[in-house]
Amino acid sequence: MSEAGIIAAVLWLALTAYAVLAGADFGGGVWDLFASGPRAREQRQAVATAMGPVWEANHVWLIFMITGLFTAFPSAFGVLSLDLYVPFTIALVGIVLRGAAFAFRAHGREAVGGASTWGVAFGTASIIAPFFLATGIGAVAVGLTSSSWAAPYSFLIGCFAVSMCAYLAATYLMVETEATPLESDFRQKAAIAGVVAGVLAVICLGLAPLAAPNLAHALLGRGLPLALLALINGLVALAAVSRSRPRIARVAVAGQVVLVLWAWAVGQWPSLIPPTVTIDAAAAPSSTLDALLVVIGVGMLALIPSLAILFRVFKARNPAAID
């Protein structure tokens, strides 16, 4: 693999981390909005407790992605920024409002739990942000132009992304609330989200050859083994949810996100923006790539132990039961 290829893979890993971690935070917002039943208040509190200490760190994966992209692939970054101006600007509004609303509500007048303006803002923005970020991905799958983000297929990808976020969050929250009455609430939500995500995935796959030739080419080509694995894993995840196996469900759903993203990446390798822009052609000069690899290496040495401490302290036991 070329040096540019290694960096592209690292950036895709960062995107994967963002999707799995921040995706669950966005999904938390969805379930805050759709908190229901007699325990709606406790559901919202569980979301807030689980997200509080980690969402800001989870969010940095996106920043890392962006800065890495413009350092290593500046011309591709320029093209993406121009063509995806509209969806990314909307996503940005969502990201800003999501974070601010979450923090404002946590420090606001009323205790988290009841329906509140900031709560609604938090939930709505948690849908807008992943939806429009994903239409950007959809735009690349369809074939990047300045309007392809608005293609129906891109919107389908947007819906799929939101449903995956909700699915992720619900299974995480099943684990966080294990052995409390909330667990069955979140199991029910996970089942709904899982079925919706599954249906959307099948539709996306079915339409891909017609609407998104780039994606179809990737998934039916080199990405096929991973795509097949994703199909099997998707069934495992649904089964784990319906049988109340929170820990298995959480791993399987996170794994689903990983498999889908990597099936696509492996499939379209070595294209960066198919069909024309390749990873090597868009790469910065090798002096930049060398330096970036060093920065990433040194940074990871500091980052990984820090992350380990964070998740150890806050995710070791059931936080909803502690606070």
Partner 1 sequence: MDNLTLARATMGTSLGFHIVFAVLGVGLPLLMLVAEGLWLRTKDEVWLDLARRWAKAFGILFAVGAVSGTALSFELGLLWPRFMAFSGAIFGLPFSAEGFAFFIEAIFLGLYLYGWNRLSPVAHWLSAIPVAVSGALSSVFVVMANAWMNTPTGFRLASDGHLVDVDPLAAALNPSTPTEDPHMLVSAYVVTGFLVAAVYAAGLLRRRDDLLHRRGLTLGMAMAASAIVLSGITGDTSARFIYQAQPAKFAALEGIYTTTRCAPVSVGGIPVDSQHHVVGAIEIPCLLSLLAAFDPNAEVRGLETFPPDDRPNAVLVHLSYDSMVGFGLTLGLLAALFWALFIYARRIPLRRPLLWALVAAGPASVIAMESGWFVTEFGRQPWIVYGILRTSEAATTAPALGLTFVIFFAIYIGLAITTARLLLLQARRNRTAA
User: Which residues of this protein are in contact with partner 1, per CB under 8 A?
Assistant: 52-54, 56-57, 59-60, 62-64, 66-68, 70-75, 77-82, 85-86, 88-89, 92-93, 95-100, 102-104, 106-109, 146, 284-285, 287-288, 291-292, 295-296, 298-299, 302-303, 306-307, 309-310, 313-314
Beta bridge partners of 278: 271
Pick what 240 binds: partner 1, ligand HEM, none; C-beta below 5 to 8 Å, kind-dependent.
none
Q: Which of 18, 19, 12, 154 is nearest to 87 (CA)?
A: 154
- CA distance linking residue 82 with residue 170, whole number of Å: 35
Least distance from ligand HEM to the Cβ atom of residue 134, Å: 20
96 is a site residue for ligand HEM (CB under 6 A) = no
70 is a site residue for ligand HEM (CB under 6 A) = no
Least distance from ligand HEM to the Cβ atom of residue 54, Å: 12
Q: Which residue is nearest to ligand HEM (CB)?
A: 63
Least distance from ligand HEM to the Cβ atom of residue 56, Å: 5
Q: Which of 90, 100, 91 is nearest to 122 (CA)?
A: 100
- CA distance linking residue 24 with residue 20, whole number of Å: 6
Backbone angles phi, psi at 187, to 5 degrees: -65, -45
Burial 68-89 (b: 16+ CB within 10 A, else e): bbbbbbeebbebbeebbeebbe
Q: Kindly indicate which of the ranges 20-28, 52-60, 107-115, 122-130 contains the residues binding ligand HEM, using the contact rule CB under 6 A.
A: 52-60
315 is a site residue for ligand HEM (CB under 6 A) = no
* DSSP code for 222: T
Q: How far is CA 128 from CA 60, 94, 123, in A?
A: 19, 6, 9
92 is a site residue for ligand HEM (CB under 6 A) = no
Least distance from ligand HEM to the Cβ atom of residue 7, Å: 20
60 is a site residue for ligand HEM (CB under 6 A) = yes
Which two three-digit tokens encode residue 213?
A: 């030739």
Q: Which of 225, 311, 237 is nearest to 266 (CA)?
A: 225
Q: Which is nearer to ligand HEM, 39 or 59 (CB)?
A: 59
**Do 31 and 173 touch, CB atoms closer than 8 A?**
yes
Q: Which positions touch ligand HEM (CB under 6 A)?
A: 56, 59-60, 63
